[in-house]
Amino acid sequence: MKKDYLSREEDELFSRTVLDFNNSSQTNEKEKNAIRERTKILIYIVARDMLHLSYDDASTVFLDMEKELDKIITSYRVSNATFNQYLRQLCQYRCRRMKQKAYQNNLWENAFFMEEAAYNSKHPGDYDVLDACTREHRSTETYNQDLYSEYGLKEIIDFITKTRNVLDYPIFNNYEKKLRKALTIPTSRKRFLIFLLTLPRKTESIDSYDIARVLQVDECAINRLLYLKDEALGYQEEKIREIQSRASKHWRIMAKLVANINKENDEDKKRKLRDHYQTQVICHRKNVSEIRKVSNGMSRTYISNILGLSRSSVSVAVKETSTLLEMIAKS
């Protein structure tokens, strides 16, 4: 029977095997070779089935990582990530590096095309291969573009809500199975996506692959959603700094007022200073509360404005999703 290399049980079992091998003081060549062969298989499967790369791209990633196979195995240490998740992170890094290299090559090609164009304009009688090369280059460039790069936050949410691909994502546990079933309903899907927007920026528990798996949608679409969310929250960082500056200002005034109150002997003046102090305390607490609201993710008002919904609809979506997640966790 063919092993399900991506199953949770197999992943956890092999993760322990690799950790025991790395922590062992003695080298067992038979075990080492077995781990190497299993890792080779996993690299290709992870690249192909978890990252959904084409056969050619998965093979390129495999050949690139095979050169450092022993280093990859010995570098795995105790962490929250299983061995499959560890390999997935490495594959993602190699993919980004490959894309960056391809992008640099495209820059050199563009420079070549510009030089050829300038030459052909001065020598019209020469054989002109520029048109054919340019057409081929542009078609490849268009093919490689991110399919969702033109989508705004509202558009990508509508797309994910309406689209559910039958992708071969593995289900790791019964909780994910129930959640995936619940999120087949378009209303629940949209509420779930709105709930994600309210979570803090770059939350450690958020993983695009995990979200894509339960929603059964292309991971690139989820990456676009999270990118737009982080971009929107990035604008709020300036607002946070402004509020922090105001809060610090009120704090400094409060410190000076306390010193003046202790020095003042006149009761009327001391009462006025205390009143002023209480006003500053209220302002400071208000600023601190505002910072917490901004830091907790996209505000309900901001989401309602972007998606064209009422604020109460956004609040209902967040509440219903929280209830759903709690119910599935308890069942």
pLDDT tens per residue, range 201-236? 554 445 677 888 889 888 888 888 888 887 777 666
User: Of 67, 69, 68, 49, which Cα lies nearest the Cα of 58?
Assistant: 49
Token representation of residue 146: 């991110």
Length of the chain: 331
pLDDT at 58: 79
Kindly list the distances between the CA atom of residue 178 and the CA atoms of 171, 188, 325, in Å, as whole numbers in the listed order.
10, 13, 10
Question: What value does the mean pLDDT of the chain take?
Answer: 78
| 134: exposed, middle or buried (Cβ count in 10 Å: 0-12, 13-18, 19+) | middle
Quickly state the pLDDT bin for 312 (edges 50, 70, 90).
very high
Quickly state the pLDDT bin for 160 (edges 50, 70, 90).
very high
pLDDT at 170: 65
Distance CA 158, CA 152 (A): 10
More confident residue, 3 or 247: 247
Stretch 125-130: mean pLDDT: 42
Question: pLDDT by residue (tens digit) across 74-124?
Answer: 888 876 678 888 888 888 777 767 766 655 555 555 554 454 455 455 444
Q: What is the model's pTM?
A: 0.48
